[in-house]
Amino acid sequence: MAYASEYSMKFNADKSKCMAVLLICRRNHVPLLSKCIFNTGGTSMEIVTSYCHLRHTINSSLNDDQDILNRRWTFIGQVNSVLCYFGKLPSVVKAQPFRSYCTSFYGCVLRDLSCSTVDDFYIA
């Protein structure tokens, strides 16, 4: 908190999360972090195992499986929307809304492409 007061910063505990990374030592199969309480501004922060930040799921096991599955579900939903609204048009016409609406893979360069769920995304 010394840094925050020095630079006149305020932290919002309601918007902050504490993620328990699985690399923490365990005693009796219970993460030691689960017994800790982190406070900022007098309010305790919630301890989570996964969190969605900028539409990307970050989890405590530090893999991209859940994020890739979420992107897959989003992609399938977008394709279905394009087919619903433009289904009766020729394929040449459907190609432009598909390229514009369904191929936004924001942040895909950050993903670990060796995850097993990447194959499911390719199949979709």
Q: Determine if the pTM surpasses 0.75.
A: no
Taking a C-beta distance cutoff of 8 angstroms, is the pair 18, 45 a contact?
A: yes
What's the pLDDT score for residue 18?
78
> What is the rounded CA–CA span in Å between residue 96 and residue 104?
13
- Digit-by-digit pLDDT tens for the chain (124 residues) are 677 778 888 777 777 787 765 444 555 555 555 567 777 777 777 778 788 877 777 877 777 888 888 888 889 999 999 999 998 889 888 888 888 888 877 767 667 777 778 777 777 7
Kindly state the tokens that stand for 78.
């977008």
CB 32 within 8 A of CB 25: yes
